[in-house]
């Protein structure tokens, strides 16, 4: 078998970075080919580093890497998109960092997912240009849940399996989805799901982004949909990853995350 090439290239979106030693940084990347992966950026915290400007969280880059024993090392970087419009607006920046963080939490290392790369890239672009950034987030959340294997059940009652009647039903994140009136007693934490709430959630799950963007959702309904999705995401994260800090972050209304470079 021929030896693997020492140098290789990949496109990547930088999800986050953390300090390593005096001057280095470990970056968490999402790539089209290798899924989520880590790579070391050497000397990138020195003022003389020619890479540091390119290796900011949320940047879309073309990277050159060298295989290493523990982690691969970034040897070259070209910025393909820096999403300037997100960085100039704190509210949009905090939403974009939430998108990066949720992608990080919901995906496993080295599992290729081109649809997730596409979703991440499209979502950052949509956040930059859409007049309704919260709609962009709801679509992203629902699609990411689906792609990560945590699709909520929205067609049938998770208790009895019957198709839902077109009335107000319930949503029970712990049980994995919608619950009919007959099955609600005894369930932990069910919340009323209005018929319109169910319709919007189904559209987020089954429709295209363009379908979703065309619908005008009144504020109270948007709040209901956000509440259901948030409680479901918290449930998934609590069951599947140790993400206490992230859950706290989700629970803080209007939380703003500081970008660290």
Please give the residue ranges that form the binding site for Zn ion (CB under 5 A): 157, 159-160, 180, 183
Minimum Å distance from CB 226 to Zn ion? Answer: 25
CA 146 and chain centroid, separation = 11
Nearest distance, CB of residue 182 and Zn ion, angstroms? 5
> How far from 94 is each of 167, 183, 198, 247, 259, CA to CA, in Å?
36, 39, 27, 15, 9
List the one residue out of 139, 57, 117, 99 whose CA is nearest residue 250. 99
Complex with Zn ion: residue 127 or 164, whichever CB lies closer: 164
Kindly report each contact of residues 193-198 with a partner whose C-beta sits within 8 Å and lies 24 or more positions away, as own/partner. 193/168, 193/169, 193/224, 193/228, 194/168, 194/221, 194/224, 195/166, 195/167, 195/168, 195/169, 196/221, 197/221, 197/224, 197/225, 197/228, 198/154, 198/164, 198/169
CB of 177 to Zn ion, least distance (A): 11
Task: Please give the backbone phi and psi of residue 110, each rounded to the nearest 5 degrees, phi first.
Answer: 60, 30
Cβ 191 to Zn ion shortest distance, Å: 15
In the bound state with Zn ion, the residue whose beta carbon lies nearer, of 165 and 248, is 165
Shortest distance in whole angstroms from residue 161 CB to Zn ion: 7
Least distance from Zn ion to the Cβ atom of residue 195, Å? 16
Residue 58 or 157 with smaller CB distance to Zn ion: 157
Cβ–Cβ under 8 Å, residues 111 and 37: no
Q: Looking at beta carbons only, is 119 or 179 nearer to Zn ion?
A: 179
**Residue nearest Zn ion, Cβ-based:** 157
Min. distance of Cβ 149 from Zn ion in angstroms? 24
> Based on CB atoms, which residue is closest to Zn ion, 44 or 193?
193
If we measure between CA atoms, which residue out of 119, 80, 85 comes closest to residue 100? 119
Integer CA distances (angstroms), 260 to 146, 204, 222, in order: 30, 32, 31
Q: Which is nearer to Zn ion, 139 or 170 (CB)?
A: 170
Tokens at 226, concatenated: 């956000």
In the complex with Zn ion, which residue's Cβ is closer, 55 or 157? 157
Which residues have CB under 8 Å from 78's CB, separation 6+?
54, 61, 62
């Amino acid at each position: 078998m021929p030896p693997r090439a020492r140098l290789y290239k990949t496109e990547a979106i930088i999800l986050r970075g953390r300090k390593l030693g005096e001057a280095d940084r470990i970056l968490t990347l999402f790539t089209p080919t290798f899924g989520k992966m880590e790579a070391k950026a050497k000397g990138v915290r020195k003022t003389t580093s020619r890479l540091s400007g390119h290796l900011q969280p949320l940047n879309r880059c073309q990277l050159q890497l060298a295989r290493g024993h523990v982690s691969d090392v970034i040897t070259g970087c070209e910025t393909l998109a820096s999403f300037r419009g997100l960085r100039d607006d704190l509210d949009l920046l905090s939403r974009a960092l939430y998108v990066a963080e949720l992608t990080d939490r919901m995906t496993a290392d080295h599992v290729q997912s081109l649809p997730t790369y596409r979703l991440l890239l499209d979502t950052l672009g949509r956040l930059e240009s859409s007049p309704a950034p919260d709609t962009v987030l709801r679509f992203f959340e629902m699609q990411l849940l689906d792609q990560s294997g945590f699709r909520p059940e929205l067609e049938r009652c998770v208790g009895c399996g019957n198709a839902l009647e077109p009335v107000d039903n319930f949503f029970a994140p712990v049980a994995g989805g919608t619950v009919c009136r007959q099955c609600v007693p005894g369930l932990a934490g069910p919340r009323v799901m209005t018929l319109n709430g169910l319709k919007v959630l189904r559209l987020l799950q089954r429709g295209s982004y363009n379908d979703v963007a065309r619908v005008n959702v009144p504020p109270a309904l948007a709040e209901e949909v956000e509440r259901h999705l948030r409680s479901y995401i918290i449930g998934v994260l609590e069951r599947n990853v140790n993400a206490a800090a992230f859950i706290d972050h989700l629970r803080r209304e209007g939380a703003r995350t500081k970008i660290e470079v």
